[in-house]
Amino acid sequence: MKKLINDPADVVSQALLGMEVAHGDRLRVDHEHKVVFRKDAPRSGKVGLVSGGGSGHEPMHGGYVGLGMLDAACCGEVFTSPVPDQMLAATTGVDGGAGVLHIVKNYTGDVMNFEMAAELAADGDVQVRSVVVDDDVAVQDSLYTAGRRGVGTTVLLEKLVGAAAESGRSLDEVTELATRINGVGRSMGLALTSCTVPAAGKPTFELGDDEMELGIGIHGEPGRKRVPMTSAAEAAQLLVDPILTDLPYGTGDSVIAMVNGMGGTPLIELYIMYGEVQRLLEKAGITVARCLVGNYITSLEMAGCSVTLVKADDELVGLWDAPVNTPGLRWGV
Residues that bind its own copies (CB under 8 A): 2-6, 11-12, 14-19, 21-22, 55-56, 58-59, 63, 78, 192-193, 209, 212, 229, 231-233, 235, 263-276, 278, 288, 291, 293, 295, 298, 300-301, 303-305, 325, 327, 330-333
Least Cβ distance, residue 102 to its own copies (angstroms): 23
Closest-CA residue to 216 (of 275, 159, 152): 152
User: Kind and range of the H or E element at 202?
Assistant: none
Least Cβ distance, residue 266 to its own copies (angstroms): 5
* Pairwise CA distance, residues 192 & 269, whole Å: 12
Least Cβ distance, residue 305 to its own copies (angstroms): 6
Catalytic residues, which ones?
A: 57, 219
Question: HSE of 200 in the Cβ direction (CA atoms, 13 Å)?
Answer: 13
Least Cβ distance, residue 104 to its own copies (angstroms): 21
DSSP-derived secondary structure for 112-137: HHHHHHHHHHHHTT--EEEEEE--B-
* Bridge-based pairing state of the strands 304-311 and 254-261: antiparallel
Q: Is the CB of 49 or the CB of 273 nearer to its own copies? A: 273
Least Cβ distance, residue 173 to its own copies (angstroms): 29
| Cα 254–chain centre separation | 21
* Pairwise CA distance, residues 181 & 2, whole Å: 39
Amino acid symbol at 32: E
Least Cβ distance, residue 296 to its own copies (angstroms): 10
Q: Is the CB of 3 or the CB of 225 nearer to its own copies? A: 3
Radius of gyration of the chain (CA): 19
* Pairwise CA distance, residues 277 & 239, whole Å: 9
Q: Is the CB of 138 or the CB of 177 nearer to its own copies? A: 138
Alpha helix stretches (DSSP H) within 259-312: 267-283
Q: Is the CB of 247 or the CB of 272 nearer to its own copies? A: 272
Q: Is the CB of 2 or the CB of 283 nearer to its own copies? A: 2
Residue 129 CB neighbours (<10 A): 17
Long-range (24+ apart) CB contacts under 8 A made by 199-204 are 199/8, 199/9, 199/77, 199/78, 201/1, 201/8, 202/1
> Residues 187, 243: contact at Cβ < 8 Å?
yes
* Pairwise CA distance, residues 222 & 139, whole Å: 9
Q: Is the CB of 179 or the CB of 237 nearer to its own copies? A: 237
Q: Is the CB of 136 or the CB of 276 nearer to its own copies? A: 276
Give CA separation, 228 vs 191, 218, 234, in Å: 12, 20, 11
Least Cβ distance, residue 191 to its own copies (angstroms): 10
The DSSP symbol for 39 reads T
Question: HSE of 72 in the Cβ direction (CA atoms, 13 Å)?
Answer: 31
